[in-house]
A and B are shown apart, each in its own frame.
Chain A
Amino acid sequence: DTEVTQTPKHLVMGMTNKKSLKCEQHMGHRAMYWYKQKAKKPPELMFVYSYEKLSINESVPSRFSPECPNSSLLNLHLHALQPEDSALYLCASSQDGYNSPLHFGNGTRLTVT
């Protein structure tokens, strides 16, 4: 079990669907992250939120839209995805940016059909 909870664990969606991934942490961490991981590859950074404000967007396509409603929650809204967007989406949080360890959730396995 991890201290970062991601839902759903699995998601299958069509290219015209709209869905959301959710992430929650109650460790009081002020930084939260979305990473994307393809099979047999390292995680790739998508977005960073610091104190509930978006601080980094790694040139992610607009079909991915992050949202941080409060310091404990992070959402990733998905719309008009492509099959190549199928991947494991990982949420993480940390106390002090990258000067402290990242705590990861177990991810959402996304399949776009």
Chain B
Amino acid sequence: SQQGEEDPQALSIQEGENATMNCSYKTSINNLQWYRQNSGRGLVHLILIRSNEREKHSGRLRVTLDTSKKSSSLLITASRAADTASYFCATPLEYGNKLVFGAGTILRVKS
């Protein structure tokens, strides 16, 4: 079953611009996680935000969480060509025993 839905499915921007990706989910959660995947590689954890947090920062990344709307966003500021990757949100299901990934957003940053 798919818990998270992401939009847009694909995003193409110029280097230096900001990129925003959104994630919506269906059930109550205790945390939401964002991951990046470069082509053909494993996933890399970016940020974990807990249900009692509204915003979290890590370098050029900013994640927000709105539990009333069951949605989260990932903002990448001052994008670089190296940010080109797929980005997934992921939420625990069934009392935290399963981590389910959204469909993902493919980000392309043009230099």
Whether both chains belong to one complex is answered with: yes
**Residue ranges of A at the interface with B (Cβ–Cβ < 8 Å):** 2, 4, 6, 33, 41-45, 48, 55-56, 58, 88, 90, 92, 97-107, 109
Q: How far is the CB of A99 from chain B (nearest CB, A)?
A: 6
The answer to whether A97 touches B96 (Cβ under 8 A) is yes
Q: B69 on the interface (CB 8 Å rule)? A: no
Interface size on B, residues (CB 8 A): 23
Q: Cβ of B103: which chain A residues have Cβ within 8 Å of it? A: 41-42
Given A42-B88, A42-B104: A98 and B99 interface contact (C-beta under 8 Å): yes
B27 CB-CB contact with A under 8 Å: no
Q: Are A90 and B33 in contact (CB under 8 A)?
A: no
| Min CB gap A96→B, angstroms | 9
13 more A-B residue pairs beyond the given contacts A102-B99, A105-B42, with a C-beta to C-beta distance below 8 A: A42-B101, A42-B102, A42-B104, A43-B101, A48-B98, A92-B42, A97-B92, A99-B30, A102-B35, A102-B45, A104-B43, A107-B40, A107-B41
Q: Check A100–B48 contact: CB distance below 8 A.
A: yes
Instruction: With CB as the reference atom, state the residue of chain A lying closest to B91.
Output: A98
Query: In whole Å, how far is B65's beta carbon from the nearest beta carbon of chain A?
Result: 15
CA distance A82 to B33 in the complex (A): 33
**How would residues 80 to 100 of chain B score, 1 for a CB under 8 Å from any chain A CB and 0 otherwise?**
000000001000100011111
